[in-house]
Structure formats: C-alpha cells, structure tokens
Chains A and B, each alone.
Chain A
C-alpha cells in the first residue's frame, strides 16, 4: 500500500465522519412532492418535433409581421399624408337653385353631387335648365328659387373651414378605435 493509498483511505474515512454531521432540515420530501405537483401542473405538453418545426417558426414570423405592421400605426407614421397641407377637405355640395330657375334633384350619391375645391362655384351638369322636371328626395317635389336643392339647407355651397380644430390623433389606431372606423 503506497502513501497515496493510505492518504485516500484516510480522506474517505474523514469525509464520511465529518459530513455525517451535516444534516438537512426535515420536510424536504414534502416540498419535493409539492414542487413535483407544480412542475406537472405548469409543464407544457410536449409537441411533436415536426409540429415544433412548423409551428414555432410560423408563430415567430407572425409575431414579427404583426410588430412591423403595428408599430407605424401606433406611432401614427404617415398621418395626414392622404391630403396636401392647407387644402380643405373636399365636400359634397348641393347646387343652389338660382332665381327664376327650377332644378332637378337627384338622390344623394349620384353624379350630381360633386367634390368641389375651395373657391370653386357650384356647378350643375345642365340639369338645372329652365322647365326641367323637379326631383327632390321624394321625386316630384319642386324646389323654390333661391333655396338649396338639399332638404333642410339653404344656399349651402361650400364649407370654408371643414374642421377648425382638427383631431391630433386623426388617422391613428386610437382614433379608429374610438370612432369605430378608420
């Protein structure tokens, strides 16, 4: 027996003796069972490797795409770019029936309702010729001279300031959510 063998034997004996004084606190087993229950409850089901190979990259790609789309919308990038600055919103204007004339009204949404720029006079398509048949919201009604051809409005030609206090959030996701439509 060499000196190292003796030393190893002594070390084994001394370690066994000294470590026997180290004793864990009781209750470890109950804790293990509780933690095993927790591990069982919260463990996700194992997926097939093929399913993992398809689902995980697809989910990651979808998440990235959603992020790319959502960030500009939330930040409002591109807000107001649909119309040039300083230009009023085009509005549909009902033609005014001039004195001595009788007009024909066509239902809302037809080609008689035109989009006019600021300062443009209301135009007619030639439907306001003298003697033409009148047509209001209810076909057959006549429109008195000097009145708007739209029911309930008088001489409305153009809204000079369509939105004096514009919504700073206009065009953002938040305004869409509040108003219900983009």
Chain B
C-alpha cells in the first residue's frame, strides 16, 4: 500500500497543492474514501507540517502530536471539505490552532511550576535544547507568536499573504506587518550568513 511509505523529503513546492484527493461535491464520501484521502494528504504534507510545528512549539515530540491532532481534525471534518485545496488550507489552520493550544497549556503548567521551583530553565535554554539544528531556527522560535507563525507560513510554506492571513485568522495587512517585523528581527542572524555565502 502506498500510504505506508514515508517520503524522505516533501514534494517540490509546485506539486504541493495539485494532487490532494478531494471529495466529489455530489456524493457523500464513505469512510474508506475518507481514510484514503486523509492518508494521501498525510503522505504529502506530514513532514512539512512536523517541521513547521517543531519551530512553533519548540519540541519535536509535541510537534508530531500536534500534526497528528491536526490530521485527525481534517479526518473528522472531511465531509465539510468541498473544494480542491480546502483540505490543505484546513490542515494549515489546524496545525496552527493545535500548536497554539499546546503552547497555551504548556505556559500555564510552566507558570504553576515556576511558583514552586525558582530555578527553572529559561525559554532561551529550552529553545536551544529543543533540538533545533541552527541559530536561524532558534531565532525564529524566539520570535513573538504571531511573527513566528507568519514567518514560517510565508517563507517556509510559501503561502501568499492572503493564504497566510486565512490560516492565522488575520487580515492580510496584519500579515504584512508581522512578516516585516519578523524579518527585521532575523536580519542579524541572516546577514552574517549572507556575507559568509558571498565570500
């Protein structure tokens, strides 16, 4: 069965939104159809989504759970998905929302823990220890939440401003502002790399 093989890399950007199986608007999907469609979606987008979620929640294991929950949300709501690319848009929104929920829950737990233990590790130490492989990803992980989400969706998933706004529940103008501010904060990390590459 083709769904059981995990690809080593995500498909190229041009092919991302072209082969997502969708439901015909006239017929109600059966459970087997839905499973197959969600399986194919998972096969195409899981790795990419886990990468985004890893930077969003700064924890690879939690990121995998986030992505699982997002795909289950897609599965549960598959009967409402009508258009061709709607499943992918729904998936992006789900990943962002589930990641936000996890972060909110974690922040409450950490606040309660910090009341008991004053020698907790700092957020920076956590980000560094979260398995993020580069200084750039650590810098992205340390951006404020909306800037972090915007940078990842705009510059890693290559979504347009409109698509990013839809996934994040923002206006396109706000997305432009968050992307610009995020980019400005990352400039210090990016410019040495640029200089290094130009040399």
Chain A residues with CB under 8 Å of chain B are 4, 6-8, 10-12, 14-16, 18-26, 28-33, 35-36, 39-40, 43
Contact = CB atoms under 8 A, between A and B. Distances in A.
Looking at chain B's contact residues, the main secondary structure is: helix
A88 to B, nearest CB: 62
Looking at chain A's contact residues, the main secondary structure is: helix
Most interface-central of A8, A26, A32 (chain B CB within 10 A): A32
Nearest to A3: B187
Given A11-B186, A24-B67, 12 more contacts: A7-B187, A11-B190, A14-B190, A19-B51, A19-B54, A28-B64, A28-B68, A29-B43, A30-B4, A31-B68, A33-B39, A39-B76
Given A14-B193, A18-B134, A21-B133, A33 B35 contact: yes
23 contacts: A4-B180, A8-B155, A10-B194, A11-B151, A11-B190, A14-B190, A15-B137, A15-B140, A18-B137, A20-B51, A22-B51, A24-B64, A28-B42, A28-B50, A28-B68, A29-B42, A31-B68, A32-B68, A33-B35, A35-B68, A36-B72, A39-B72, A43-B76
A156 B9 CA distance: 100
Given A32-B71, A36-B72, A39-B72, A22 B6 contact: no
Given A15-B155, A19-B156, A4 B137 contact: no
Nearest to B3: A29
A32 B42 contact: yes
A23 B49 CA distance: 11
Contacts of A4: 180, 183
Nearest to A20: B9
Contacts of B52: 19
B42 to A, nearest CB: 6
A173 B47 CA distance: 61
B71 A10 contact: no
Nearest to A11: B155
Interface in B75-127: 75-76
Contact of B38 (A8, A11, A31, A36): A36
A118 B87 CA distance: 84
The 6 closest A-B pairs by CB, nearest first: A18-B134, A24-B50, A19-B51, A21-B133, A15-B156, A22-B51
Interface in B27-42: 31, 35, 38-39, 42
Most interface-central of A19, A20, A26, A39 (chain B CB within 10 A): A19
B21 interface: no
Interface string B139-164: 01000000000011001101000000
A32 B155 contact: no
